């Protein structure tokens, strides 16, 4: 036990600081990805509900493809494929050498577009849960569409979406572990490095598991609070 | 066409803003070298996050010889070749063996290290009785007959056993080629994962570079493990560990080649490997 404390501590032989930095990286990349996914998800949900035919088909395709292929593949495609495509483009305009997609951007975008596919489904479901009568009532009093969107749809849809979004956030948090393949030092990659460098894999993987658990527990409490806040003033049936 | 160029330029420009892209000049005054950072003692990380190990010291020496400014970065091993070809860095020094398969994708310098591979098993396992005469059986044409004889001798002992090996390594190819019909090969992402399964008794043995396994069995917590069986090298087990480079960079290859040969010739590799491994890994020609 004392050995473990020294190994994960902040002393000269301790990996505490590195693990803490890796935790911050996991939070940063997951949060960026989740935010990106929210924006994408909202747009796609709107395209699927209100869009014209081609827009709807495109949105459907996006959701089907991104939910249907392994997340690791998306990351590989973006990080390696993205760099190659950009380099080819750059050569087309006469530039030399390589153009890179930086690891953080590639990771956050990859997890973000996956998260977006899931979030669009959450938003669509939340919209469907709004009572139709409220929308008709709003229209019948002559409410314009932007006003209807802002006053009737957003407050209610967001409220209904919170539990689903909490789920998708946990997914993003765990998917961030896949980004270790692109060289971004998040919790899992740091644990692998520590395990290989000290030959004490068990200690590092247990610590990584505990860190993920702490992050998901804290954020889970956050979502619970948000849900309670969103539902105040709503009578539970 | 002009419009396409313009669009492409705009796209590249806008993306480079986001991603901090860089296009290096080709005089090789600056070289970015990737290593794994988790393969003790070849390359690993200390508690402050600094990369250390045999290859880190050697890289520094090679760069001095090439009069280049080098930056060493850590990259997970399973993405390291595509990342090199995508231009994330210019060279790989990650305990990587030259193999025919890898040569299809990248170029290699002359080897700077060659260590045979062998088995590690639990002392309680029947495999601990695998013969080890301390000799290295070469799989190169001149030693192949003796090596195959030794392989056929140990095959009956290995029958039905489960052997762990790191995936996409020269060792995995070797097992596939020579032992596929008698053993159950279990592939792992990293070497310490198969060590864990060995300690747990989930595999009967693991097969890896002796330079790595020696350190593993010497750990106090692994006192139940031991090296066992003949030592094999060369051929499908790799022609040695070398610097990996893109095929499109012949000037850099020539520079690295000269530096590696010089470091082998003047004993630098011997000094550094004795410091990190406890024995000399200089490739013998």
Confidence at B19, pLDDT banded by 50, 70, 90: very low
Domain count of chain A? 1
Q: Is A124 on the interface with B (CB under 8 A)?
A: no
pLDDT at B16: 46
Inter-residue contact B99 to B174 (CB < 8 Å) = no
Q: In a mutagenesis test of the B interface, which of A93, A188, A204, A205 is the best target, namely the one with the most B β-carbons within 10 Å?
A: A93
Is the bond preceding residue B188 a cis peptide, omega within 30 degrees? no
Give pLDDT tens digits for B223-263.
Answer: 999 999 999 988 788 788 999 999 999 999 999 999 999 99
pTM of the complete model beyond 0.80: no
User: A23 is in which domain, residue-wise?
Assistant: 15-129+162-230
β-partners of residue B97 are B241
Give pLDDT tens digits for B138-160.
Answer: 888 888 999 999 999 999 999 99
The fourth-level CATH superfamily of domain B117-237 is: Periplasmic binding protein-like II (3.40.190.10)
- List helix spans (H) across chain A: 2-8, 16-50, 53-68, 71-76, 82-92, 103-128, 132-140, 145-148, 154-175, 187-198, 201-231
Q: What helix, strand, coil percent values describe chain B, rounded to 5?
A: 45, 20, 35
- A201 inside domain: yes
- A7 inside domain: no
- A145 inside domain: no
Q: Which two tokens stand for residue A193?
A: 């490095």
- A156 inside domain: no
d(CA A40, CA A112): 8
CATH number at residue A166: 1.10.3720.10
Task: Evaluate if residue A39 carries a pLDDT over 80.
Answer: yes
- A2 inside domain: no
- A93 inside domain: yes
Pick the CATH number of B26-113+239-277 from 3.40.50.720, 3.40.50.9100, 3.40.920.10, 3.40.190.10: 3.40.190.10
Q: Identify the DSSP state of B269.
A: H
Residue the block writes with tokens 């911050």 = A24
Average pLDDT, chain B: 88
A87 with B16: Cβ contact below 8 A: no
Q: Identify the DSSP state of B43.
A: B
Q: Which two tokens stand for residue B99?
A: 């193999």
Distance from CA of B87 to the nearest CA of A (A): 6
Q: Which residues of B touch A98 (CB under 8 A)?
A: 22-24, 86-88
> How many residues are present in chain A?
237
Distance from CA of B8 to the nearest CA of A (A): 6
Q: Is A101 on the interface with B (CB under 8 A)?
A: yes
Distance from CA of B79 to the nearest CA of A (A): 6
Distance from CA of B139 to the nearest CA of A (A): 29
Q: Which two tokens stand for residue B212?
A: 């790595």
Q: Which residues of A touch B17 (CB under 8 A)?
A: none
Residue B186's φ and ψ, nearest 5 degrees, are: -115, 120
Q: Where in chain B is the domain with CATH 3.40.190.10?
A: 26-113+239-277, 117-237
Q: Is B18 on the interface with A (CB under 8 A)?
A: yes
A97 with B88: Cβ contact below 8 A: no
Could you say which residues from 71 to 110 on chain B have a Cβ atom under 8 Å away from some Cβ of chain A? 73-76, 78-79, 82-83, 85-88
Q: Identify the DSSP state of B93.
A: -
CA angle, residues B133, B183, B121, in degrees to nearest 5: 45
Residue the block writes with tokens 């490095």 = A193
- A27 inside domain: yes
């Amino acid at each position: 036990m004392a050995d473990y404390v020294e190994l994960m501590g902040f002393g000269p032989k301790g990996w505490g600081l590195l693990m803490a930095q890796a935790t911050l990286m996991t939070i940063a990349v997951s949060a960026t990805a989740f935010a990106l996914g929210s924006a994408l998800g909202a747009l796609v949900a709107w395209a699927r509900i209100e869009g014209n035919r081609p827009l709807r088909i495109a949105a459907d395709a996006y959701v089907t493809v991104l939910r249907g292929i392994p997340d690791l593949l998306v990351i590989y495609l973006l990080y390696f494929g993205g760099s190659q495509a950009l380099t080819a483009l750059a050569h087309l305009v006469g530039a030399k050498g390589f153009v890179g997609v930086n690891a953080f951007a590639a990771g956050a975008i990859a997890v973000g577009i996956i998260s977006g596919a899931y979030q669009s489904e959450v938003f669509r479901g939340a919209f469907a849960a709004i009572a139709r009568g409220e929308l008709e009532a709003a229209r019948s009093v002559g409410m314009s569409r932007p006003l209807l969107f802002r006053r009737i749809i957003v407050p209610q849809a967001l409220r209904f979406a919170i539990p689903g979004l909490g789920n998708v956030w946990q997914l993003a948090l765990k998917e961030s572990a896949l980004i270790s393949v692109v060289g971004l030092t998040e919790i899992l990659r740091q644990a692998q490095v520590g395990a290989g460098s000290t030959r004490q894999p068990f200690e590092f993987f247990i610590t990584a598991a505990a860190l993920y658990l702490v992050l998901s527990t804290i954020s889970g409490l956050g979502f619970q609070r948000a849900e309670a806040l969103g539902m105040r003033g709503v009578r539970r049936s | 066409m002009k419009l396409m160029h313009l669009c492409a330029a705009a796209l590249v420009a806008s993306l480079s803003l986001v991603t901090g892209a860089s296009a290096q000049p080709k005089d090789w005054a600056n070289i970015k070298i990737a290593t794994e950072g988790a393969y003790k003692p070849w390359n690993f990380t200390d508690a402050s996050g600094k990369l250390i190990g045999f290859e880190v010291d050697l890289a520094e020496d090679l760069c001095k010889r090439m009069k280049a400014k080098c930056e060493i970065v850590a990259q997970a091993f399973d993405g390291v070749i595509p990342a090199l070809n995508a231009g994330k860095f210019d060279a790989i020094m990650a305990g990587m063996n030259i193999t025919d398969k890898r040569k299809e994708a990248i170029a290699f310098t002359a080897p700077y290290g060659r260590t045979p591979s062998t088995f590690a098993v639990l002392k309680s396992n029947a495999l601990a009785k695998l013969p080890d005469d301390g000799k290295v059986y070469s799989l190169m044409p001149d030693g192949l007959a003796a090596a195959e004889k030794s392989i056929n001798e140990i095959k009956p002992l290995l029958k039905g056993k489960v052997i762990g090996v790191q995936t996409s390594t020269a060792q995995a190819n070797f097992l596939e080629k020579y032992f596929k019909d008698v053993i159950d090969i279990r592939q792992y992402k990293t070497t310490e994962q198969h060590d864990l399964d060995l300690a747990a008794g989930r595999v009967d043995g693991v097969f890896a570079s002796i330079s790595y396994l020696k350190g593993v069995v010497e750990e106090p917590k692994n006192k139940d493990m031991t090296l066992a069986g003949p030592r094999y090298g060369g051929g499908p087990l790799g022609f040695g560990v070398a610097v990996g480079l893109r095929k499109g960079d012949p000037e850099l290859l020539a520079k690295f080649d000269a530096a590696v040969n010089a470091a082998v010739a003047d004993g630098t590799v011997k000094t550094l490997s004795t410091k990190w491994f406890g024995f000399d890994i200089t490739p013998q020609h």
